[in-house]
Amino acid sequence: MKRLLKQSDFENYHVVTSPPRHEFHCWAGAPDAVYDPAADRFYIVYRVREPERRGFEARIDESADGINFTTVKTFSASEFYCPSIERSAILKDPKTGLFKLYLAVDHRPWRILKLDDVSDVRDFNSATARPVLEAAPDAPDNGHVKDPFIFVAPDGLYRMYYIGHGGNREETYLATSRDGETWERSDKNPIMKNCGWHDFFTRPACLLPLDDGYAFYYEGSGDKWFDKIFNVQTGVGFTTDLETIEDRSPEGPALMTSTPGGRLGTLRYLSCVEAKGKVFAYYEAARPDDSHELRVSVIEE
């Protein structure tokens, strides 16, 4: 993508998955997506939530066109002995050709698990789950870690952008790895702090390459906002080294839902896939009834 995404890019969209009920605190979302050019298939992992049982299920869906998806794998929170699954990360490893899957689970505190790599996403096995990143008593993120987004840069280094919580609520953190298994925290953490309009939450969403660097999409909310926990909207930053982020939307969110509800203008968990000369932008968006649905906006490059 040669430019930053803008609000008008999200006026047109397709609904990938609807929430289980159309009411507040019911949603389908927290997506992460990948395109496999070898199979010409899109895969998306997301979670489904109800107020009574939070993130009770994670699903992997498959699509030939990036718009119409079929569920091919389902995980329940009980498989991981937790009350809730949040955002997961899926990617096809450029080094091995295998799929990797990471899940954020509420083990009081939150931590990030990884399943064994597979050649077919249908073969992911919850019994292979093991922790790869946990809260560290001697690190700034000593409260919890969750919601990874993983990017493998041309230098071959795996970078995990994740939500860390320490003494200043949820902020954006970075860990790196040579193999996707063993991770080392950045000594610059948190790499994006709570400030300005996003002085309550500052959380990573995704990256998109530009001609001169990378667009770094993040999400946030303000301490004085109405419903600052769930009224989360998206900002944009810029980076060349994938560690130092310049905020390009310091005055306010760059992206919000095109269908705000009575309480929420939420557009969060943005995940962008470049395929077929287009950008497929997947995200969780508030509906007029304040439930959230999983959408895709297809944007010409």
pLDDT in tens, 73-95: 999 999 999 999 999 999 999 99
Cβ-count burial 142-169 (b if 16+ within 10 Å, e if not): eebbbbbbbbbeeeeebbbbbbbbbeeb
Full-model pTM: 0.97
In the predicted model, residues of the chain with pLDDT beneath 50 are none
- The residue among 83, 82, 100 whose CA lies nearest residue 91 is 100
Q: What is the per-residue pLDDT for 177?
A: 98
CA–CA distance, 186 with 178 (Å, rounded to integer) = 14
Q: Tell me the CA end-to-end span of the chain in Å, nearest whole number.
A: 6
Residue 123 backbone phi and psi in degrees, to 5:
-95, 0
Domain locations along the chain: 7-300
Q: What is the per-residue pLDDT for 1?
A: 63
pLDDT in tens, 177-228: 999 999 999 999 999 999 999 999 999 999 999 999 999 999 999 999 989 9
Q: What is the per-residue pLDDT for 146?
A: 98
- The residue among 62, 61, 108, 101 whose CA lies nearest residue 84 is 108
Q: What is the per-residue pLDDT for 168?
A: 78
Q: Which fold has domain 7-300?
A: Tachylectin-2; Chain A (2.115.10)
